[in-house]
Amino acid sequence: MIRHASDPDSGELARKRAAVAGLYEGVQAVLSPMAGVTDLVFRAVCREHGADLTFCEFVSADGVVHGNDATRELMELGPDEHPVGIQLFGADPASLAEAARAAADLGPDIIDLNFGCPVRKIVKRNGGSALLCNLPLMDEIVRAVVAATDIPVTAKIRLGWSDGSVNYMETTRMLEEAGACAITIHGRTREQKFSGSADWGPIGEVKAAATVPIIGNGDVFSGADYLRLRAETGCDAVMIARAAIGNPFIFDEITAAMNGAPWQPPAVDRVVTTLLDHMQREIALKGPRTGLNRMKRHFASYLRGYPRVAELRKAVFASNDIPTIRSAFEDYRSAHAGIQIESAAPAGETVS
């Protein structure tokens, strides 16, 4: 192999890769970074339900570099929150390197680079999955970030930009050579966004050839899906995104599946109790207005599939009065105690 002028230091890279390999020996299910979703409180809730590794909401490198307080707040970590990762996005190697140094000061276990987000507002700034069309720049970014910090660097990608430009094998080989210590693969192209079905076959192809942990992602909405993705691909762990929104119980279900235990979806009582606890913690951390606004992303998802929720949904979304909202959920819990559903439908498009 021809040496690159900025090849990672072999001894330092070996240390980082050993750390990540050791981390993934104890990681089965990962909470994906999701904008507006995976804040400090929700990460804690998911960890309590069995998530082994969590990620902050993904963070703009430019926002970090420019000192944007709201952007830096997204990287807030709990005092005992480990293992945890911070995911960055951007298109400028120098900015990403500087942002990685700032992120490293907060003490994450991993710094992840987002090369998979399909959302237009990210792509039009040449971030996320736009970099699947510019592997030389992606290579430069990874090398710059690896050199900038002692924290192991990982990456998240898609299969390619479109069906006509699938390049996941080339991309993952490049990422390994540039110093990535693990790679998450979403089984769709950018063009697909979240339509159709995820193709897990390429995840298995990459796993068979890779020397770093490979994390599978895409269309895992149940414990059975989790087991099937692991069995079909041999991936080292599975990253959960949409299925976790308003549904931290997905991690309980995955744990049950791994242990061969039967799974009973939570009854309304448990769901509402978890929701109200989540809401109270958001309000305590962010204040009434911001805490409630953040919870509204989760309200509909928590009770998706349960009976007669239309009236409840209308009431809680129409109000900004916390006691009124709490009472509405408590009344619903009392009226529907013990009711279960088979499974919840996935949430809609996310930014991650």
DSSP helix/strand/coil, 185: strand
Selecting among 46, 117, 181, 235, the annotated active-site residue is 117
Rounded to 10 degrees, what is the CA torsion of 232, 233, 238, 243?
-50
Q: At 128, list the tokens.
A: 């996320």
Measured CA to CA, the distance from residue 107 to residue 188 in angstroms comes to 32
Measured CA to CA, the distance from residue 240 to residue 148 in angstroms comes to 29
Measured CA to CA, the distance from residue 280 to residue 276 in angstroms comes to 6
Measured CA to CA, the distance from residue 251 to residue 223 in angstroms comes to 8
The residues, ordered by sequence, that sit 6+ positions from 35 with a Cβ below 8 Å of its Cβ are: 57, 58, 350, 351, 352
User: Has 235 been annotated as catalytic?
Assistant: no
Measured CA to CA, the distance from residue 130 to residue 108 in angstroms comes to 26
C-alpha distances (whole Å) from 11 to each of 7, 34, 123, 250 are: 12, 33, 35, 39
- Active-site residue set: 117
